[in-house]
Amino acid sequence: MTAAFGARLAAAMTAHGPLCVGIDPHPSLLEAWGLPDDAQGLRRFALTVLEAVGGQVAAVKPQAAFFERHGSAGVAVLEEVVAAGRDTGTLVIVDAKRGDIGSTMGAYADAFLRDGSPLAGDALTVSPYLGFGSLDPAVDLALSSGRGLFVLCLTSNKEGHEVQHARTQDGTTVAALVAARAGALNAGADPMGSIGLVVGATVGDAASRTGVDLAAVNGPLLAPGVGAQGAGPHELAQVFGSARRQVLASSSRGVLVAGPSVAALRAAARQASDEAAAALS
């Protein structure tokens, strides 16, 4: 990698708009596309999405679980998708949400962030809920290799508040601790750092209620739920406030239902990107 992930993502968002298209080969989508629920159907699905949106959007985000459910053949397809995404010049965020401790976290980092690994895209989603320090192997390797991380912070699932809104003895919420640690790693980066957060676009005033200063993170904010998925200008102002310029809107099913036509997928992605840009302006 020749430049830090944060700088490369900022440039991609300027060039193509603030949209990340999820590559989520859910069984129901494979069926809707007339594809078999096997590794070959998986491959056709994922490479068709890349043909449609590669070079057209800021990033793509293959969801590792939908590939892993097909065993080694599915993981081989994920490796092919990562390489194909790189060939289109589109940033690839591998959505694997890894989180562990010690040498095990180091092994996950090696798999998804090391130069030369077939699973290493441009960034990886990770979970900090064994303690933010447990992510140190991933942080170190991401930053040294020019890659990035998206750390779960404020998610839209109904169970998320049980951990994310919990408070320490001094009254600080877990989400605020996560955001502060990411911000410290991004300090001084321009135009933004490489350690981002995952923040649902439909979490309402959760950031203000938990004391999370998203603007101070100085890193990208991966946001499921923008535009047709439910969050418009009012909701985004409430969730992200002055940090809206950092938001990378994530859309999966909203774009993928337009397939299997390449032209229809490309048009759906362009519409989603335009809606996200308008909502974030």
The CA distance from 150 to 167, in Å, is 22
Token digits of residue 215:
């603007």
Residue 43's alpha-carbon distances to 50, 70, 84, 121, 170, in angstroms, are 11, 11, 11, 17, 50
Query: For 278, phi and psi rounded to 5 degrees?
Result: -65, -40
**Residue 150 burial class via C-beta count within 10 angstroms: exposed 0-12, middle 13-18, buried 19 and up:** buried
* Radius of gyration of the CA atoms of the chain, in A: 18
- The yes-or-no answer on residue 97 being catalytic is yes
CA angle 48, 22, 20 (to 5 degrees): 110
Q: Mention every residue, 6+ apart, whose C-beta is less than 8 A from residue 234.
A: none
Say which amino acid occupies 102.
G
Angstrom distance (rounded) from CA 215 to CA 171: 21
Q: What is the 3-state secondary structure (H, E, C) of 131-145?
A: CHHHHHHHHHHHHHH
Active-site residue identified among 97, 114, 167, 245: 97
Catalytic residues: 97
